[in-house]
Amino acid sequence: MLARELIQRVREIQIHTGRQVADVLAGQYVSVFKGRGIEFDEVRPYVPGDDVRIIDWNVTARSGSPYVKRFVEERQLTLMLMADVSASQDFGSGWRSKREATAELCALLAFSATHNDDKVGLTLFHGGIEQYIPARKGQKHSLRVVREVLAHGTGVAPEEMDRPQTGWRRWLPFGRRRAWRRRGRQATDVAGAMEFLMSVTSRKTVCFVVSDFLDDGYLKAMQSANRKHDVIAVLITDPRELEIPKVGLVTLSDAETGRVAQFDTGSRAFRQQIARQAERRVEQLRHQFQSSKIDFIHIDASGSVVDPLVKFFRMREGRMRR
């Protein structure tokens, strides 16, 4: 994908998701993610008339004079988008890949947060942490988030998309750098991404982990992160991962392990076995996350990104009312 095509794709996502946010998501985002309310700020000396229920007895005992706790209203949220950019995310059998679906989802969430004056951050991960963008506010920052997800692994640096599109010499160094990075991003390490989140974020955040979850041993790390933060798992799949068409003998390569094998898709039993295994995997992920009190969203890369997100917002809003 050339820089011009990336710019066009970003603009398309901005226009499309901007309309969706304005028409559908903005109100639901606010109703579900309302901020943390009242939080502790500091202690100050007691003044006659202060409510005795806010006296800080520990400080009072140490100082010998009465002190009360001071609270401030904190309504601003921090939204952290954890986007999987491992090799398997490049797969797409339809009009967009799993990574492009991830970029559109990140755009919807980032623009919704910006509409509510919240901060948005981004972490790109694979077998390690590829890039971390601290949370900030503003439309320009949200666009950067989308550009980073889309541009990763394409041979075009995101900053190159902001420059005049002339002069091939500017592109060559970035193409070499990205090609080198691509060799190091084959695997997926969700647990490592969660550990990184815990190390860089001290305040509670709303964290969307967007991945195909082709990994093992990450559930404990996600459970630990969810005790401190509000973690939502978003599974991105492609239709051809769930159901293989009848096309005869094919050679398939695992994007993350590099293993190659031949399969006879003309066999009905083989196609049914693949479909059952894929369906079982999705349901197991759903059960594991829900049992861990981690919200779960399943998005088909070939379908709507908005509909599953709206369904999630409505489910969560209904749960809050109970």
pLDDT tens figures, 67-92: 998 765 455 788 999 999 998 998 98
Residue 183 has pLDDT above 80, yes or no: no
Residue 106 has pLDDT above 80, yes or no: yes
Domain edge (last residue) among 27, 55, 73 = 73
Cα four-point dihedral sign 91, 93, 99, 105: negative
Residue 39 has pLDDT above 70, yes or no: no
pLDDT at position 43 is: 87
- Given a contact cutoff of 8 angstroms between Cβ atoms, the answer to whether 196 and 79 are in contact is no
pLDDT at position 14 is: 60
Shared domain check, 297 and 182: yes
Shared domain check, 131 and 65: no
Give the list of residues 6+ apart from residue 272 with CB closer than 8 angstroms, or none: none
Q: Please, which pLDDT band fits residue 17 given cuts at 50, 70 and 90?
A: low
Shared domain check, 181 and 63: no
Per the prediction, the chain carries an average pLDDT of: 80
- Given a contact cutoff of 8 angstroms between Cβ atoms, the answer to whether 199 and 226 are in contact is no
Cα–Cα distance for residue pair 186/101, rounded to 1 Å: 19
Shared domain check, 309 and 242: yes
As a whole number, mean pLDDT of residues 238-256 equals 87
pLDDT at position 163 is: 45
Q: Please, which pLDDT band fits residue 138 given cuts at 50, 70 and 90?
A: confident
As a whole number, mean pLDDT of residues 175-201 equals 69
pLDDT at position 164 is: 42
Shared domain check, 223 and 198: yes
pLDDT at position 181 is: 39
pLDDT at position 154 is: 53
pLDDT at position 208 is: 96
Q: Which amino acid is at 259?
A: R
Domain edge (last residue) among 73, 98, 127 = 73
Q: Identify the CA nearest to 100 among candidates 90, 109, 108, 110.
A: 90
pLDDT at position 294 is: 96
Shared domain check, 272 and 229: yes
Residue 37 has pLDDT above 70, yes or no: no
Stated as kind and residue range, the H or E segment containing 141 is helix 139-151
Concatenated DSSP letters of 80-137: EEEEE-SGGGG--SSSS-HHHHHHHHHHHHHHHHHHTT-EEEEEEESSSEEEEEEEE-
Residue 172 has pLDDT above 60, yes or no: no
Shared domain check, 185 and 164: yes
Shared domain check, 43 and 144: no
- Given a contact cutoff of 8 angstroms between Cβ atoms, the answer to whether 161 and 3 are in contact is yes
Shared domain check, 135 and 31: yes
Percent of the chain at pLDDT > 90 equals: 37
Shared domain check, 268 and 203: yes
Count up the domains in the chain and report the number.
Answer: 2
Which of 73-77, 83-87, 201-205, 310-314 holds the top average pLDDT? 83-87
- CATH code, domain with 271: 3.40.50.410
Shared domain check, 208 and 61: no
Q: Please, which pLDDT band fits residue 212 given cuts at 50, 70 and 90?
A: very high
- Given a contact cutoff of 8 angstroms between Cβ atoms, the answer to whether 103 and 144 are in contact is no
Shared domain check, 28 and 41: no
Can you give the pTM of this predicted structure?
0.75
Domain of residue 62 covers 37-73
- Given a contact cutoff of 8 angstroms between Cβ atoms, the answer to whether 197 and 228 are in contact is no
